[in-house]
Amino acid sequence: MKENNFWRNVNVLITGASGLLGSEMVSQLLNKGANVVTIVRDTVPKSRFFLENLNSKVTITRGDIEDYSFVERVMAEYEINTVFHLAAQPIVKIANSSPLGTFNANIKGTWNVLEAARNHMSTVKSVVVASSDKAYGTSPILPYDESVPLRGQHPYDVSKSCVDLLSQSYWYTYKLPVNITRCGNFYGPGDLNYNRIIPGTILSVINNERPIIRSDGSYIRNYFYIKDAADGYITISENRDSVLGEAFNLGSEERYSVLEITNLVLKVMGSKLAPVVRNEVSNEIKEQYLSIKKVKETLNWKPKYKTEDALLETVSWYKKYVC
């Protein structure tokens, strides 16, 4: 456990700050006293970042991580000490239909952030980069631990394998103080990507419509509450001196099929609606779930929330801000 003032007046840069994880990171780091600088490309009025007025409490820089000169200027001008690189194109379906946009955002955007940080290592002491469990690709070894090779095959998975390897290269070659996170499927307050199963199901129930399952419902995943995710990221950065260059799986030890998690959302919401199973998914990994043994043993971190409790909080947010 770090002292209460660890983050006080630390200059923290969060890319993708108006997204699902970014908004929660902003909230937690503001509560810890950090000076938060954000990179925001688009104004999305319904995002949690704006709905909860987080934008008024941080420095907002408007630009695109695909623009190196912009990223470098932000790093220099605000004398950044810690970077949480979260900005990405995060949707598998979009990656399959628009791979070039995904590669530019996820791969080029990452090397821009890493290179800008490398050029300001006099001030930058920690860079935490968001990879994904998708970086592992399809593997016969389950659950994935951090020793499993990165073998993405489909566009989104490949983009995250590249993000991961780029980050490792900046540690091994330049000793950039980087850490990598590989997480399961996020959910929680503020997720506006309604083609994801949890927010999509919540919205369907709010609208009294049957939720849609694009797959056959049997795909297995870790579903990871966003408050636990942000806490995990922060814990890694706080302990960076002892784990520089290392990657960590973060996630819940609970795992569900798509049909199981849909039915759990329906249960939490007290709904009798039956899901529509379309079985139209292709180019996605059938089973993915993580071992978090390393982060538990190395950093004494584990998730605090049970899935049902986290879903109750999540549903409450949507009822407050979406209904």
HEC assignment per residue over the chain: CCCCCCCCCCEEEEECCCCHHHHHHHHHHHHCCCEEEEEECCCCCCCHHHHCCHHHHCEEEECCCCCHHHHHHHHHHCCCCEEEECCCCCCHHHHHHCHHHHHHHHHHHHHHHHHHHHCCCCCCCEEEEECCHHHHCCCCCCCECCCCCCCCCCHHHHHHHHHHHHHHHHHHHHCCCEEEEEECEEECCCCCCCCCHHHHHHHHHHCCCCCEECCCCCCEEEEEEHHHHHHHHHHHHHCHHHHCCCEEEECCCCEEEHHHHHHHHHHHCCCCCCCEECCCCCCCCCECCECCHHHHHHHCCCCCCCHHHHHHHHHHHHHHHCC
Domains of the chain, first to last: 11-184+226-253+288-304 (3.40.50.720)
Per residue in 177-224, pLDDT tens? 999 999 999 999 999 999 899 999 999 999 999 999 989 999 999 999
Q: Compute the average pLDDT of residues 271-289.
A: 87
Q: Compute the average pLDDT of residues 36-43.
A: 95
Q: Is 156 a catalytic residue?
A: yes
pLDDT at 91 exceeding the cut of 90: no
pLDDT at 2: 53
- Among candidate residues 144, 156, 225, 233, the one labeled active-site is 156
pLDDT at 80: 98
pLDDT at 303: 97
Across 11-25, 86-100, 156-170, 261-275, least confident range: 86-100
Per residue in 240-254, pLDDT tens? 999 999 999 999 989
pLDDT at 287: 87
